[in-house]
Structure 1
């Protein structure tokens, strides 16, 4: 089995060098070409003075150079820091500063945008531009040097840095619910073991072709690469403007596996699927709960493809999957532990929760990350020893997810809500997901988020923020009617707010945190307005 991240490519290049590894628009790279490209990039990093554990930030959209730079960083013994290409210059600056990045790999256009807004008083020593044209060095760059790099697949020496599997491979920055994004420290073992674990339960093989929709800075997005490379499959790097483009790509590239997050699936479920997709073998969901109605619609759209409902967090990679044979029986479950992961549901007393009892989901095993980069206090809060009855090793660290779940008699897990997203209304703890699942039964509803905001008498009031499906009429009364019919009095929302579209964060998920901040003073403003009338 591969030990280091770039070994995934090396191994396939030795076993099946001419097999296609990557598709990007009209270009392709086989595994041998990708191997040479990654090693050539590693050599460039060596020439720029990069040493083991130096951080190399890659701020590019999904393209061949992006993959070569990320895996080439591993080959050089450095630490990759993929930056979401949708982030703005000031957000990029935070990641560069926090990570202490020595090298930034980007395009000339992106670099010029960054220069206009960011002052570089930090560790950055060189910028590598993928464009042919060399820009004029700005006066305020100080010691930063500018270099051009073109991807080359010409044969080269295959030396690489000697690293151990437990050493740091990547910093993946999570959006987080509060404050600036945190860098999650992932080892080579975390990422390689995770790739083999996912490939095992998805039954991936060398003939698979995966469509990479998600950002490579997102662990779920990056794992499309590692999972494919672990078995010698190919990946189509793809960005889209409209959901309809995804369906066209599935047909054009004869995709066998598709991974997406709930907002994307909701949009896709609302389209007609005229093309037959005989090649599509499976599709996966993670990054949030799949509404039951959406699941039903998608199964009708893709009747021959097997759905895998999954759950994970960057701090522990993928964690659970629901075996497809149980979807009809348990459509609301996030399933059970994936291979190489061990999960516990621990109640508020520090004991294993009984079936049906709410507790926190806790992860143990080789997929657990090393903590947060340069944040020992936050690491200590999240990465802690298991209760003594579950582990005899006081030095073993598990990751406490912050997610409230229940477990049934069969060991299958059900998501209830995040600790920091649970709504405390009238003395009750209310799951946003339960509210949202109820409302998704309304046919005209596009997307919905339930949040809590400070309320003068209830503690928190419930706010429903929603959008309608395209070309559908939807009003507040329809949603109120469903709530009154199906929910108890203490779960009745206090406010409904319609938007044309719900905002997204950098990973394509609905931006709950941003909405919570936006409407945090909703009820206090309403009370003030009433007083002024």
Structure 2
């Protein structure tokens, strides 16, 4: 066991301190690799100081924003960490974000420097007056800079990250994350997942997605190696996992399904010991398939949102003995379940999760009204808490059970229904491989989309044996694949349009 994982009191409260300690403790160990580059911890630290020097030469000051929009690359990590060293704010943005949304993010973040892929630099210069520089050009320029001298300029209560998330609003909103809040989340998650210095974490998730970005921070804390494969070569993922001797693989359901399919065709052993899951719930059948296709690997289910990073973690393979649970809250945090009036409800009753603790983030960038709605005094009337918009229950032993987002819980003919309940029933059908349900909208009832070797009539007939009549969807359609967002979650906005069109078509 890594002794660092047992520390808490006096632990570092800036992300910069994680990198400084990693360089001292594991200087020659690999910190991050992609298909072209591998950086040791000493090389990553020095590269981040050169990146900081280059950013300062471009006018980046304490508190300024540095926007990064690029496919996963080892070099990108140096600029994320370099910005933090200056006391600036790293703003990771998905390279797949639409130009419509990106225009709003550019205006909102008001970055001093934006780093992007070379092929889109010219197009992005029309969106904002910030300096737009390709990652390749920035890397070459930074290599000629002397490493920035002196201690990090970041302080614990400075913003370290601005992470844009769409949530339930029409335009992305930036979650403000201070160094203190991020470092607490990293330490708390590390104590539960127990990444080790000899781990190699295979991150197919985008670093612009907080689940992917935190893999970098967790690796810094543990001295592990972060591995970022090239985008667009998914048929080689299992081979890459084997060749790189990966031991930990974070997944969302779409990635898990892909890995299962590939591993079924290539059964040679790997060194994977742990799969983690958050972002969207992993079906029990997929968790079982991961264990079956990757012998020796365990699965740890997690639950959280960007506004507090992580809410709960289920111990590895505990889903086998506690089906339906998403774990217990992080150490040093608290989760309460409240009704519509904000009053706590008894164990086992469904209500909204309200989270309090040092990992509750600062709020939303330049959105004080929205911040006041979500971040306000908890049930005790004093403690600052996050009203998550997620619904579920807590059992008598303190384990959380997720029922769905506010928009996923609805009343139909007087009965409370969760879209997750409909999806779970659909996934229980033998010929259904994926399912996504929508609540009633626009005069239609609940809608269901499935992927599988089946028909809508067969699906609805099967559901009649599994759900109460009032919970049955009124519309069902079989698709070749569920549409996904850039982070691998089911894109329910696209499905809502399909449902509306399907209903209008009769």
TM-score, structure 1 normalization? 0.88
Q: 5 Å matches for 1:290-439?
A: 290-324=282-316, 326-388=318-380, 394=382, 396-439=383-426
**Alignment partner of 2:445: what SS?**
strand
Cα offsets for 1:408-466 (capped at 9, x unmatched): 1111111111112223322222101111111112233232110023364xxx5011112
Judge conservation of contact 1:59–1:82 (CA < 8 Å) in 2: yes
Q: 2:273: which partner in 1? A: 281
CA change 1:242–1:129 in 2 (3 A) is: closer
Q: How does 1:223-234 map to 2 (within 5 A)?
A: 223-234=214-225
Q: Which residue of 2 aligns with 1:74?
A: 84
- Corresponding position of 1:506: 486
Deviation at 1:46, TM superposition (A): 1.1
Q: Which runs of 5+ in 1 are unaligned?
A: 133-146
Q: Aligned pair in 2 of structure 1 residues 119, 218: CA closer, same or farther (>3 Å)? A: closer
Aligned partners of 1:179 and 1:14: how far apart in 2?
45
Whole-Å separation in 1 of the counterparts to 2:258 and 2:33: 25
Counterparts of 1:148 and 1:210, CA distance in 2:
24
Return the alpha-carbon distance in structure 2 between the equivalents of residues 148 and 297 of structure 1: 41
Matched, 1:490 2:470: yes
**Contact 1:293–1:441 at 8 Å: present in 2 too?**
no
**Residue 448 of structure 1: aligned partner:** 435
State the match for 1:138 in structure 2: none
- How much has 1:520 moved relative to structure 2? 4.3
- For residue 278 of structure 1, report the CA deviation from its aligned partner: 4.7
SS of residue paired to 1:324: coil
Larger radius of gyration: 1
Within 2, Cα distance between the matches of 1:127 and 1:198?
35
Report 1:11-22 matches (<5 A). Answer: 11-22=21-32
Residue 95 in structure 1 maps to residue 105 in structure 2: yes
Of 210, 220, 238, the match for 1:247: 238
Q: Distance in 1 between matches of 2:132 and 2:441?
A: 46
- CA 1:22–1:242: 2 relative to 1, 3 Å: closer
Q: Which residue of 2 aligns with 1:136?
A: none
Paired residues of 1:103 and 1:127 also in contact (CA < 8 A): yes
DSSP-derived class of the 2:436 partner:
strand
Deviation at 1:150, TM superposition (A): 4.3
Q: How does 1:40-55 map to 2 (within 5 A)?
A: 40-55=50-65
**In the alignment, which residue of structure 2 is the partner of 1:113?**
123
* 1:219 Cα deviation from its structure 2 partner: 1.1
Shift of 1:492: 1.1
In 2: Cα distance, 1:243 partner to 1:426 partner = 44
Separation in structure 2 between the aligned mates of residue 453 and residue 517 of structure 1, nearest angstrom: 13
Tell me if structure 2 keeps the 8 A contact 1:36–1:158: no
Kept in 1, the 8 Å contact 2:376–2:384? The answer is yes
Q: Is the contact made by 1:204 and 1:228 (CA closer than 8 Å) also made in structure 2?
A: yes
Q: 1:465 aligns with which of 449, 457, 464?
A: 449
For residue 62 of structure 1, report the CA deviation from its aligned partner. Answer: 0.7
Aligned-pair RMSD on alpha carbons? 2.1
Contact 1:172 1:183 in 2 (8 A): yes
**Structure 1 residues 457-516: Cα deviation after superposition (integer angstroms, max 9, x where no partner):** xxx501111222xxxx32112211220111111011111112222111121111123322
Q: SS in structure 2 opposite 1:6?
A: helix
Query: Is the contact made by 1:63 and 1:237 (CA closer than 8 Å) also made in structure 2?
Result: yes
**Higher mean C-alpha displacement, 16-25 vs 162-171:** 162-171
| Contact residue 87 and residue 155 of structure 2 kept, 8 A | no
Mean Cα deviation higher: 86-95 or 207-216: 86-95
What is the CA–CA distance in structure 1 between the aligned matches of 2:397 and 2:454, rounded to whole Å? 40
Aligned length: 495
Q: Greater CA deviation, 269-278 or 343-352?
A: 269-278
2:133 equivalent in structure 1: 128
- Per-residue CA deviation, residues 221-259 of structure 1 (Å, 9 max, x unaligned), is 111100011011111112443654221121111111000
Q: Deviation per CA, 1:238-288, whole angstroms, max 9, x where unpaired?
A: 244365422112111111100011122133334405334452111101012
In the alignment, which residue of structure 2 is the partner of 1:177? 168
SS of alignment partner, residue 265 of structure 1: helix
Q: Equivalents in 1 of 2:97, 2:292: separation in Å?
A: 35
Q: 1:92 to 1:454 in 2, by over 3 A?
A: closer
Deviation at 1:378, TM superposition (A): 0.8
The answer to whether the aligner puts 1:37 opposite 2:47 as a matched pair is yes
The Cα shift of 1:311 comes to 0.4
Write the distance in 2 (CA, Å) between the matches of 1:205 and 1:439: 38
Aligned equivalent of 2:458, options 458, 472, 478: 478
Residue number in structure 2 paired with 1:142: none
Distance 2:342 2:108 in 1: 34
Cα distance in 2 for partners of 1:173, 1:80 equals: 11
Q: Is the 8 A contact 1:342 1:365 kept in 2?
A: yes
Q: Mapping of 1:206-225 within 5 angstroms?
A: 206-225=197-216
Separation in 2, partners of 1:444, 1:242: 28
Q: Distance in 1 between matches of 2:151 and 2:498?
A: 48
Once residues 422 and 320 of structure 1 are traced to their aligned partners in structure 2, the CA distance between those partners, rounded to angstroms, is 21
